[in-house]
Structure 1
Amino acid sequence: MSFQKRLSSGEFVVLAEMNTPKGVDTSQFLGFARKIKGRVDAVVVPDMDNGIMKMSALAGGVLMQQQGIEAVIHVYSRDRNRLALQGDILAAHALGIQNLLVVCGEDISCCDHHDAKAVNDLDEVGLLRAIQTLEKGTDLAGMDLNGSPSFLAGCTIASCPTEQSLEEEMEKARLKIATGARFVVTPPVFDVAQFEPFLAELKTLGVPVIPTVFLLKSVGVARYIATNEPSAGITEDLIRRIRKASDREMECVRIAGETVAALKQKVEGVRIVTLGWEHRLPAILDCAGL
């Protein structure tokens, strides 16, 4: 059953995020993917995440599809204008990719090409509107298409540390959904109990909610997030648990797996992000009972 059908039928979906290589050697990228084939519903392929030049998400998505693994590719406007975006979206459909995640690209100042210039021709709502327009058979200039695509498009919502930011993000999310987003992906969840009030708000949007489960990797990573993003929900108890473990790396894997399992009865799916530790995805799925 496809990712779209599972999502629309209310079945719990599992997405695993995998970054494309920085180069043309795809052996590791595809090797990790084969180890989770049949255990996840789709692989999310970011597009030069964190401003690091890598193989495009479009290419990565096609490689996944060739392996018989459904792909969800990131689309955003930081690096491309509306002409290039529409061309890539049409290309994605022609190459068998029908799942898009519209995201906000990171600030170009943090990228590895310091002379690069941001484009930002369309915002997230504008990009969702472009997808809708293509699906209706025309481009943004009003010209008819020779055959129109069909997509399952989703959006993201930012963390909301204050009541005001929550109101602002919910309003943005409502607008994205009104413009065609059919599921919403949340920031990382580390404390499921703390996440529940936010989840209750998200449920009012009327679309499937897919929280992110982030593999912490180490005490240092956990402490960094707790210090710089206090609203993330990383508690001292959690940091202490990792620090006291005889195998800290495996304890982080267990925590991620336990978080997935705890969310399974509350949401429509999860996105597992390992940020370079894709080799740990099978173990996380094992710990989650998936």
Structure 2
Amino acid sequence: MSLQKKLSSKEFVVLAEMHTPKGVNIARLVNDARRIKGRVDAIVVPDMDNGIVRMSALAGGVLMRQEGIETVMHMYCRDRNRLALQGDAMAAHVLGIQNILVVHSEEMSQSDHREAQTVNDIDEVELLAALRSLSGGRDMEGFELDGAPAFTAGCTIAPYENDKELDKELELAKRKIEAGASFVITPPVFDMGGFEKFMEKAKGLAVPIIPTVFLLKSLAIAQYIANSEPGADISDELIRRIRKSPDRELEGIKIAGETIAVLRRAAQGVKVQTLGWEHKLPDILDAAGI
């Protein structure tokens, strides 16, 4: 069953994020994807996160399709103007990619190309509206297409530190949904109490909400997130659990698996994010009982 059909039928979906290589050696990407084929509903392919040059998400998505795995392709407004974005979207459809996640573009401060110029010709809401217009057979200027693509488009909610910021993000999410987003991806979940409060506020969005489960690879990463991202809600208890573990890497996998298992009762899916440790995805799915 396709991702779109599972979302429409309110079935639980499992997404796994996989980055393309910084180069053209696709062996690791393909091998990691093969190891979870049949265990996830789709692979999410980012497109040069943080301004780090990598093989394009379009190419990564096509590779996943060649392996028989459904793809969700990131699209940003940072690096392309409205012409290129519409062209890439139509190309994606022709190449078998029909799921697009419109994502907030990170600042270029962490880029490996510091002199690169941001574009931001249109914003996320406008891009979602453009995808809907393309699906209706017309481009952003209203010119008729020779054959219309079909997309299942989603959006994201950015990390937030307090209720005021959350309310702002939810209001923006409503605008994105009105523009054409049919599902929402949340920031990483580390505290179920906080997520339940989020869901209570977000229930008015009336679309599937898919929380992110982030693999805490080490104590240092957990501490960094806890200290630099207050809204992440990484508790002292969770930090102590990782610190006391004789195998901290395995503990992080267990925590991710446990989080997925709990979220199966609280959300309509999960997106598993490992940031370079995609080879650990099978272990996380094992820990989650998937």
Q: Give the stretch that moved more between structures: 152-161 or 122-131.
A: 152-161
- SS for the counterpart of 2:175 is helix
How far did 1:163 drift?
Answer: 2.3
Structure 1 position 31 matched with structure 2 position 31: yes
Overall identity of the aligned pairs, in %: 61
Correspondence for 2:172: 172
Residues 80-136 of structure 1 deviation map (CA, whole Å, 9 limit, x = unaligned): 000000000000000010000000111123210011100001100010011011111
Matched, 1:209 2:209: yes
1:101-250 maps to which residues of 2 (within 5 A)?
101-250=101-250
Q: What secondary structure does 2:205 align onto?
A: coil
Q: Are the counterparts in 1 of residues 104 and 158 from structure 2 also a CA contact under 8 Å?
A: no
Secondary structure of residue in 1 paired with 2:154: strand
Amino acid at match of 1:208: P
SS of the residue corresponding to residue 74 of structure 1 reads strand
- 2:33 partner SS: helix
Q: How much has 1:78 moved relative to structure 2?
A: 0.4
Question: Could you tell me which residue of structure 1 aligns to residue 278 of structure 2?
Answer: 278
Q: 1:268 Cα shift?
A: 0.3
1:176-223 CA distance string (max 9 Å, x none):
001110000000000112211011111210000000000010000000
Which stretch has the larger CA shift, 191-200 or 254-263?
191-200
| Alignment correspondent of 2:72 | 72
1:54 is aligned to: 54
TM-score normalised by the chain length of structure 1: 0.99
**Structure 1: 4+ residue segments shifted above 6 A:** none
Letter of the 1:132 counterpart: R
Name the SS for the 2:20 alignment partner.
coil
TM superposition shift of 1:160: 2.7
Partner of 1:5: 5
Q: Counterpart of 2:43? A: 43
Larger CA deviation: 251-260 vs 159-168? 159-168
Q: State the partner residue of 2:86.
A: 86
Deviations 1:145-171 (A, max 9, x none): 000011100000112322221221111
> Counterpart of 1:17?
17
Aligned residue for 1:130, secondary structure, equals helix
More moved, 209-218 vs 1-10:
1-10
Q: Which amino acid counterpart does residue 132 of structure 2 have in structure 1?
A: Q
Please give the secondary structure, in 1, of the residue aligned with 2:119: coil
Structure 1 gap segments, 5+ residues each: none
Give me the whole-angstrom Cα distance separating, in 1, the residues matched to 2:153 and 2:240: 39
One-letter amino acid matched to 1:186? T
Distance in 2 between residues matched to 1:240 and 1:161, nearest whole Å: 22
Q: How many pairs are equivalent? A: 290
Give SS of 2:109's match: helix
Task: Find the aligned partners of 1:96 and 1:231 in 2 and give their Cα distance.
Answer: 37
- CA RMSD after TM alignment: 0.8
Deviation at residue 55 of structure 1 after TM alignment: 0.3
State the distance in 2 between where 1:93 and 1:209 align: 24
* 1:204 aligned counterpart, secondary structure: helix
Cα pair 2:77 2:121 within 8 Å, conserved: yes
Q: Distance in 2 between matches of 1:54 and 1:9?
A: 35
After TM superposition, the score normalised by the length of structure 2 is: 0.99
